Amino acid sequence: MPTVSVKWQKQVFNGVEIDTEQPPYVFKCQLYDLTGVPPERQKIMVKGGLLKDDGDWESLGIKEGQRLMLMGTAEEIPKAPEKGPVFVEDLPEDEQGTAALGHTAGLVNLGNTCYMNSTLQCLHSVPELRLALKEYSAAVGTGIDPSSHSLTAATRDLFGELDRSLRPVAPVRFLTVLRSKYVGFLLFHSVCSVIDEVCSTSCRVSVHMGLQV
């Protein structure tokens, strides 16, 4: 296993071993550890030209103590983040639980409401919709069907509870408003109607307020 020296810019690395049983690419990886120059950027001058990743060490005739020339630019050293890490214990108490869990609270099944709950949680994952609902208020409900307004407001309030709560939320008010609007509500038939109702109402309000959803 021959030992060589490698000159790179103003630096010289002595005693670099070459495992001739491995392809030259492995040697380039060694140099990457020393210089920070990625293998794909390395140009190593050897007798007869440049060292190729799949070259044959025996044919190159590398000798003990031989000096090789490395050319290439090292990767940029990552900059320290401008904003330091925020630890859970430094957050307000109402945010600590959510941060520790990594997600917001779920919804309680109120007797065969799994389809409704799944739909609500999918809608809750849409940032634009959450923003539109957060800005929704009774004051801008003028001209909107009262039952649609109530359903949209109930969705807004439920989303707010999901954002604040550390425990599963029971969507009692939402379910009550939903059933008052859709008498004889069958969950597996009306999910799409609910989505259309909430989205269309919040979108109309968002346009009125100059928001983009």
What is the model's pLDDT at position 207?
42
Final residue of a domain: which of 19, 41, 71?
Answer: 71
> For the chain, what is the domain count?
2
Question: What mean pLDDT comes out for the span 111-138?
Answer: 83
- Distance from C-alpha of 75 to C-alpha of 57, rounded to nearest angstrom: 27
Residue 83 lies in a domain: no
Give the chain's mean pLDDT: 76
- Distance from C-alpha of 202 to C-alpha of 191, rounded to nearest angstrom: 17
pLDDT in tens, 61-116: 888 888 889 998 887 756 666 666 666 566 666 555 555 545 566 888 877 778 88
Final residue of a domain: which of 71, 100, 123?
Answer: 71
- 134 and 172 together in one domain: yes
The three-class DSSP label of residue 96 is helix
How many angstroms separate the Cα of 100 from the Cα of each of 92, 97, 103, 108? 12, 5, 8, 21
* DSSP code for 73: P
What is the model's pLDDT at position 12?
92
How many angstroms separate the Cα of 188 from the Cα of each of 11, 116, 124? 71, 8, 19
Residue 56 and residue 23 in contact, taking contact as beta carbons nearer than 8 Å:
no
- Distance from C-alpha of 139 to C-alpha of 136, rounded to nearest angstrom: 8
Nearest-CA neighbor of 69 among 19, 155, 4, 126?
A: 4
- Tell me what percent of the chain is helix, strand and coil, each rounded to the nearest 5: 50, 10, 40
Give the domain CATH number at 58: 3.10.20.90
Q: Which domain holds residue 48?
A: 3-71
pLDDT in tens, 159-184: 888 888 777 888 888 888 888 877 65
Residue 76 lies in a domain: no
